[in-house]
Amino acid sequence: MPAVTIVVDLPASATAKLRGEVGKAVRRAAFKVQAWAKLAAPVDTGFLRNSIKVERLGDLTAMVSVGAEYGIYVEMGYHHYITEQYIEGRPYFLPAVGLGERYLQTELNRILK
């Protein structure tokens, strides 16, 4: 199951206001990763797309995961054991993570200026 955890570590001396703003940026980034992954996910029944979830793990931590057990095979590709064919991957999750990383970096730069 593909998953990514977004964590920002702030020093204990960080103000409550700063922690709040960074926490919001983390959550926004997680929801953007989810949205981008859902847009890029191939659809047959819709189960894969609907299994992409965001979970808040703490004030500065969020996780985006794919619940469909076959999600990793769609992402990375696989060797079909009966036909002996290699089925190419159709990346939907890792590109979304990359976009989310750039989004979060931009937001953190804005907040910390």
pLDDT in tens, 42-59: 999 999 999 999 999 999
Boundaries of every domain in the chain: 3-112
- Comparing 12 with 97, which gets the higher pLDDT? 97
Of 62, 90, 98, 52, the closest CA to residue 74 belongs to 90
**d(C-alpha 47, C-alpha 71), whole Å:** 10
> Per-residue pLDDT tens for 15-26?
999 999 999 999
Tell me which residue has tokens 């998953």.
Answer: 3
Rounded to an integer, the average pLDDT of 76-90 is: 94
- Per-residue confidence (pLDDT) for residue 2, from 0 to 100: 87
- Per-residue confidence (pLDDT) for residue 33, from 0 to 100: 98
Q: Give the tokens for residue 108.
A: 């953190």
Residue % of the chain over a pLDDT of 70 = 100
pTM, full prediction: 0.92
Burial class of residue 26, CB neighbours in 10 A (0-12, 13-18, 19+): buried
> What are the helix and strand counts (H, E) for the chain?
4, 5
Q: Give the tokens for residue 71.
A: 């999600």
Q: Are strands 77-79 and 52-58 parallel, antiparallel or unpaired?
A: unpaired
